[in-house]
Amino acid sequence: MWCHWGGIRAGRRHGTSRRLPSPCKPVFKVIVEVCVRMPLAIMSAMDVEMELYLDRCEILRSTQRAGLAFHEASWHGHDLVLVRAGVGKVNAALCTQILIDTFDAEAVICTGSAGAVNPALDIGDVVVATDCVQHDVVVKFLGLPRGQVPFTDFRFFKTDAALRRRALAVDLPDHRITPGRVLTGDRFIEDEADRHQLREELEGDCVEMEGAAVGQVCAMNDVPYLVVRAISDHADGTSDVDFEAFMQEAARSSSEIVLSLLTAPDGDGPLSASGR
């Protein structure tokens, strides 16, 4: 369970305030805060990314929803829900809403690999998203900038600051961990011109196919989220060469950071474990 008593947000997701019957409070008005058990959700797009979590965590129960397998699990006292959502924005959005509605996820972390858009990034580097944007939402006839969802205020979906800070503090030997903007779209970028345009127009650092969809669903439900992506290729036409060679390592790096952030202390102390 991930529950902060300080600065906790109002709403059904973070507990309820119950007033005791009047005979129980003859002098004082008493309010009892009830902290509800809520799991942290970890989502990946592919089996190779999710298998590392399934191998390391204690799986308590598995259930099927909309053709997806959701695994309730435990990791060092933390309640988790693990799921392979499948590739693309629709799969990611569907899975995120199920995690929120069915499993009451306290936060959602999307993890896996990405292609580098920022030329300063190398294969093996890890990007912890500051925000995500849909690079394939282009509605020029309305005068909207790339990524702006029509008739909404949605464009850049900021990630949770506390989760982001913890991820950036993880010590992963031989890997550079850096904050950055994640670009999301239902298109595999493999052209140098496309990569350059996305870098210039959106100031993106890496590109993938799920993060901003998770971000929009979480924003609409007022649920924190984070995206952690390890660079597996350069999104420049050589992806067919790099992808197979570095996919497994990218999955390992991103999963190591996500599992480590759950127990790594920072200025606020470690994330609270189940029941505390």
| Domains of the chain by start residue, with CATH | 12-263 (3.40.50.1580)
- CA 253 to each of CA 112, 117, 126: distance values in angstroms, whole numbers, following the listed order: 9, 19, 7
In the block, residue with structure tokens 């999307």: 110
pLDDT of residue 191: 80
Low-confidence ranges of the chain (pLDDT < 70): 1-37, 235-245, 265-276
> What sections of the chain are H helices per DSSP?
47-56, 89-101, 161-169, 192-202, 211-221, 239-263
Q: Which residues are catalytic?
A: 49, 233
Residue 164: Cβ within 10 Å count: 21
Q: Which residues contact 27 (CB under 8 A, 6 or more apart)?
A: none
pLDDT of residue 189: 82
Q: What is the CA radius of gyration of the chain?
A: 20
Q: Is the pTM of this model over 0.85?
A: no
pLDDT of residue 161: 97
